[in-house]
Structure 1
Amino acid sequence: MATIQRPATTLKAFLNSECGNAEAAREALENVGFELVEVKPNEIESRLKEAIDGGTKRILVAGGDGTIATAAALVANTEIELAIVPGGTLNHFARDHNIPTDLAKAALVAAGEGTVTGADIGYVNDCAFLNTSSIGAYVTFVRDREQLQKRVGYTIASLVAFLKTLAQLRNFTVSLEVNGQKKTYRSTLVFIGVGERELKMPALGSRVKNGKRGLHVMIVRGRKRARLFSLALAAIAKGTKEAEHLPEFDDFVVDRCRIDLNWPIAVIGLDGELKRMTTPLDYRIERDALRLVVAPPEGDE
């Protein structure tokens, strides 16, 4: 059950200095009076471990979902509270968990105006993720976007990468084992979300409010259908209603599953970042593994 917390004092705020909204996050944290610690992405884990070893009761991180996932993996299944200031580009985790995307408000919640509640976390081969994991077409998209982003910016890079991915869709064989039953597919995209996801336009892929808990596994069947699926995603990104029907795909909400591929090492997407993983891929969910600081329910403020 959520509990009201008093304002924290002398709390360090660990800011990813390269996150999408670093400057605004820095200002918000300084205005609240946190001891600001700016770190580069490759230093975040080691600096957070130092704070944990020092006995901190609450970890505060400012950055995107990748930064938050790093912190979450360190404090999962402990008594340490996780507070976040969403300084990334999309901030899916904050939006899904009643954490303000307004940085000034998020800083106040992190300082002690929030409540502490349980939050689920996903794992694949013991690597944590908070929102989504993907295999196939989306991985190609992310790889191309990262290569282009430094030259043309996030939005244009995303569009070009999407069109390139759409033109180069490739099938692969995936075997999925759920509850002891195994199914084999030819697909270009497998998507796993923490928590139930919307299957209808225009909110396709978004987390269902008060939806089922577990891992929502979605498998697009066949290249042609995957192409239509990609077009549907594009329509969402453009804010249009061009795509009125979804392609056929299978989906399951489960606590764990195993995915076998035809290669020993796979590059998969985890919260928008790419990771190399050995196969098979063992996915599982840990319920209430995080003690997450969120905004209080309306009426409790």
Structure 2
Amino acid sequence: MDAEQSLSPSTGRRALAAGALSAFAGAVAVVATALVRHPVALPVALVLLFVAVAAAWSALVHRSSTRVLASVTAVAALAGIVLLLGLRSFVVIAVVLGLVVVSSAAARAAIGRDLAPTPRSRAVPPARHGVLLMNPRSGGGKVVRFGLEDKARRVGVTPVVLRPGDDLRALAEQAVAAGADVLGMAGGDGSQALVADVARRHDVAFVCVPAGTRNHFALDLGLDRDDVAAALDAFGDAVERRVDLAQLGDRVFVNNVSLGVYATVVQSEDYRDAKLATTAQQLPDLLGPGAERVDLRFAGPDGSAAGPADVVLVSNGVYRFTSLNGFGTRERLDAGVLGVVTVAVDRASDVPTLIAAEVAGRISGFRGYQEWTAPQLEIDSGQPLVDVGVDGEALRFPPPLRFRSLPGALRVRTPVDAPGTTPAALTPARAGNVIKALFHVLAGRPARGRTTPGG
């Protein structure tokens, strides 16, 4: 009975499950009522919305007078939606969105960690000689803003701050040669990958300090990206586990490699400072009428030659994608596989649908979307150099590009009190599974439906 009670959700979580289901039901009821009251206007408004999306895309991939005409069409379609539905309808939309947000937040809290896989880990003692390398330019200066150098010294960790012209790999190798048994990196994901590679080559434990801009690797390690200094606790009593790395040729990456349209856009020197403007400027040449696809040749999931693709993403582990912007998160980092995602766009008809799927967070439902896993992958090309984005860094590699997974290659230490769970592991991928999990919690059972440890 005690084991059963320990698995049972608390009263608070059951109340949150009830709130999540009620808010979701309320959103459905509001939408149903609006359809009854406006059986013609709403479908017409959806058609206008599709026209607006298609016209906006046309404006992006064309130039000169065609771009102006498409922009005017998009604005006119949006104006038509306002006139057709009236301002009251936008209040209804706001209410629906509010109910969905409330339902989502309550659902996540209600489900808790019931669905998250439990990684194999072990408790480890404090580092005997911990070294933390720091890039003061990463993340807009997080190393200085969070006082990481002084805080590292206070907990007995040797800080090494990169100066202009320093070789990060050489500094990491020097730290290991000097006796470091735990090697840490405070910086972006590209720097994390480089130092992690040194750590795995010497079988030295690694600490990730999220001092970069997005810190995707830290997110999927279950670290709190907002509390940068808290990651230093991993040099003390900590939890250690093995995670995968991946390689493109001899270069290790911790997150993903992008090829195709996105990789070409990020090669621009203006991209980091003006992402939207740079994308709009280059899209006509990449996806506009007459544009040629990037020459990428590879085998699909069945081993046969895959069709042409406009976007290819190869990741360290499997991402749960809702859109192509931001890349999503991974449920686990120890599956020992590469995740492969390809997107092929028919310029004549698919682009508006792709944009709608991207905006709705349902990119996996787009007909040109395909994903699979593999321990290794080779991508060839007739180009002398292929544009790639490796953990967000724009590079060029000669083909063929050879990718492989490195299962369990890295010993990672995380603080004992770190969150420890990624967003992808906390909630099911499908709405139906979320509702099922909430009903389990509401009934006093874990989200997976078990009532006993062996059930």
2 CA distance for matches of 1:230 and 1:163?
16
Q: Does 1:295 align with 2:420?
A: no
Identity of aligned residues (%): 22
Q: Deviation at 1:114?
A: 2.5
Gaps of 5+ in 2: 1-119, 287-291, 421-455
Structure ID, larger Rg: 2
Partner of 1:98: 222
CA RMSD in angstroms, aligned pairs only = 3.1
More helix as a share of residues: 2
SS in 1 for 2:257: strand
Gaps of 5+ in 1: none
2 CA distance for matches of 1:242 and 1:256?
27
Q: Does 1:75 align with 2:199?
A: yes
Partner of 2:381: 261
Q: Deviation at 1:51?
A: 1.0
Partner of 1:45: 169
Partner of 2:343: 220
2 CA distance for matches of 1:89 and 1:114?
25
Asked whether the equivalents of residues 216 and 329 of structure 2 are also in contact (C-alpha less than 8 Å), the reply is no
Classify 1:229/1:74 alpha carbon distance in 2 versus 1 (closer, same or farther; 3 Å): farther
**Match for residue 298 of structure 2 among 157, 160, 176:** 176
**Match for residue 158 of structure 1 among 242, 254, 275:** 275
Partner of 2:60: none
2 CA distance for matches of 1:227 and 1:64?
33
Deviations for 1:93-142, whole angstroms, at most 9, x for unmatched residues?
00001123111211222x22421110101111121111000111111222
**Match for residue 132 of structure 2 among 13, 36, 47:** 13
SS in 2 for 1:174: coil
More strand as a share of residues: 1
Partner of 1:206: 328
SS in 1 for 2:267: helix
Asked whether the equivalents of residues 267 and 275 of structure 1 are also in contact (C-alpha less than 8 Å), the reply is yes
1 CA distance for matches of 2:131 and 2:419?
29
Asked whether the equivalents of residues 260 and 279 of structure 1 are also in contact (C-alpha less than 8 Å), the reply is yes
Asked whether the equivalents of residues 127 and 181 of structure 2 are also in contact (C-alpha less than 8 Å), the reply is no
Deviations for 1:124-164, whole angstroms, at most 9, x for unmatched residues?
112111100011111122223x4354xxx4xxx22223323
Classify 1:168/1:245 alpha carbon distance in 2 versus 1 (closer, same or farther; 3 Å): farther
TM value normalised by structure 2: 0.57
Asked whether the equivalents of residues 258 and 283 of structure 1 are also in contact (C-alpha less than 8 Å), the reply is yes
SS in 1 for 2:295: strand
**Match for residue 189 of structure 1 among 304, 311, 314:** 311
Read off the aligned partner of 2:252 and give its amino acid letter: A
Q: Does 1:122 align with 2:242?
A: no
1 CA distance for matches of 2:330 and 2:169?
31
Asked whether the equivalents of residues 186 and 222 of structure 1 are also in contact (C-alpha less than 8 Å), the reply is no
Read off the aligned partner of 1:12 and give its amino acid letter: V
Number of aligned residue pairs: 288
Asked whether the equivalents of residues 255 and 391 of structure 2 are also in contact (C-alpha less than 8 Å), the reply is yes
2 CA distance for matches of 1:193 and 1:226?
25
1 CA distance for matches of 2:258 and 2:364?
24
Q: Does 1:56 align with 2:180?
A: yes
Classify 1:94/1:255 alpha carbon distance in 2 versus 1 (closer, same or farther; 3 Å): same
Deviations for 1:225-273, whole angstroms, at most 9, x for unmatched residues?
88458736973xxxx7698953422221110111111223222111000
Partner of 1:273: 393
Which one is further off, 33-42 or 92-101? 33-42
2 CA distance for matches of 1:139 and 1:117?
32
TM value normalised by structure 1: 0.83
Asked whether the equivalents of residues 131 and 182 of structure 2 are also in contact (C-alpha less than 8 Å), the reply is no
Which one is further off, 9-18 or 175-184? 175-184
SS in 1 for 2:297: strand
Partner of 1:167: 284
